[in-house]
Amino acid sequence: MKRAPLKKACVIGWPIEHSRSPAIHGYWLKRYAIDGSYDKRAVPPEEIESFLSSLAAEGLAGCNVTVPHKEAAFRLAAVREASAEAVGAANTLWLDEAGRLCAANTDTYGYMTYLATRAEDWSRRTAPVSILGAGGAARAIVYGFLEAGVTEIRVFNRSAERAEALARDFGPRVKALPWEQRSRASTEAAVLVNTTSVGLKGAGSLEMDFTDFHPDCIVSDIVYVPLETGLIRDARRHGLRTVDGLGMLLHQAVPGFEKWFGVRPEVTAELYDLIAADIEAA
Ligand code: ATR
């Protein structure tokens, strides 16, 4: 007999207070009238292993994973999707029929889906893609562009070694360039993405010079607090199309919800406005 699906999930992190995942999944649980719950759990680093081994006993179908547990979640999973393998970190876990812990990294899906929603024609022009940053988020997005068939990805990172390591891991289509060249070497880019934390809560500036950029370049930021980052504002002033970071957060939540609750949820304008209002109020 097939077991009834479990209807409990959560997000784990340390700290976890500021996670917006409960608001996102709570919206969908209500919208689809699912008898389920999604809460947040503060799990200290020394307890991650025992927490993950007790998911079934806790009645949890799975969880989202945030800082600092993404690498541990990847390591402890028995089955890993290609997305998690590419990044070396997982943000979505679930138990399969056999009770094995499965891991995915849905940042790739979240980023690429929102980009396609907001700028359907992003790949029309054959041109490089520029990535600022070389952390976990950068890896997820580089993987997405490689899968989409982009022939050249330029990675700019403050510390050169990290960009070089990323380029080595992903092969010859990915090139590490000096941080100082992030504007000059991006003028022909089809898409430029900020994956660094610069601009978060208004702190710091990427000091991009958009003067000679191709008019069809799309500038996107994965930082979503504030919704309009300094980068997005500067790009808009230069007449460039922009893609904010909130959509990636919403879309990356879709696969997890479907695994745990059995319904593929929709990222609606209402959900976007709900979370945007929460960010603006904070
Ligand atoms: P994530 O997993 O979310 O990508 P991360 O691994 O901590 O986070 O990576 C943060 C990224 O932001 C890195 O590329 C980091 O650059 P370094 O590798 O040189 O540390 C980048 N970053 C953070 N603060 C920065 C700053 N003030 N200027 C430029 N880059 C910065």
What confidence tens digit (pLDDT) does each residue in 178-221 have? 999 999 999 999 999 999 999 999 999 999 999 999 999 999 99
Tell how far the Cα of 134 is from the centroid of ligand 1, in angstroms: 7
The residue whose CB lies within 8 Å of the most ligand 1 atoms, and thus the one to mutate among 196, 224, 229, 249, is 196
- Any domain includes 154: yes
Count of domains forming the chain: 2
Provide the CATH number for the domain around residue 135: 3.40.50.720
For residue 159, give the ligand 1 atom closest to its CA. Answer: 19
**What's the chain's Rg over C-alpha atoms?**
19
In a shared domain, residues 113 and 224:
yes
Indicate which residues carry an active-site annotation. 70
Residue 66 in contact with ligand 1 by CB distance below 6 A: no
Q: According to the model, what pLDDT value does residue 282 have?
A: 85
Residue 222 in contact with ligand 1 by CB distance below 6 A: no
In a shared domain, residues 257 and 191:
no
**Residue tagged 């050169």 (tokens):** 160
Overall pTM surpassing 0.85 (yes/no)? yes
pLDDT band at 5 (very low <50, low <70, confident <90, very high): low
- Any domain includes 79: yes
In a shared domain, residues 142 and 204:
yes
At residue 162, φ and ψ (nearest 5 deg) are -70, -35
In a shared domain, residues 102 and 116:
no
Residue 136 in contact with ligand 1 by CB distance below 6 A: yes
Interacting residues of 258 by C-beta distance below 8 A, sequence separation 6+: 264, 265
Containing domain of residue 144, as a range?
Answer: 108-244
As a whole number of angstroms, the distance between CA 74 and CA 147 comes to 21
- Any domain includes 1: no
In a shared domain, residues 38 and 62:
yes
Contact between 11 and 22 (Cβ < 8 Å): yes
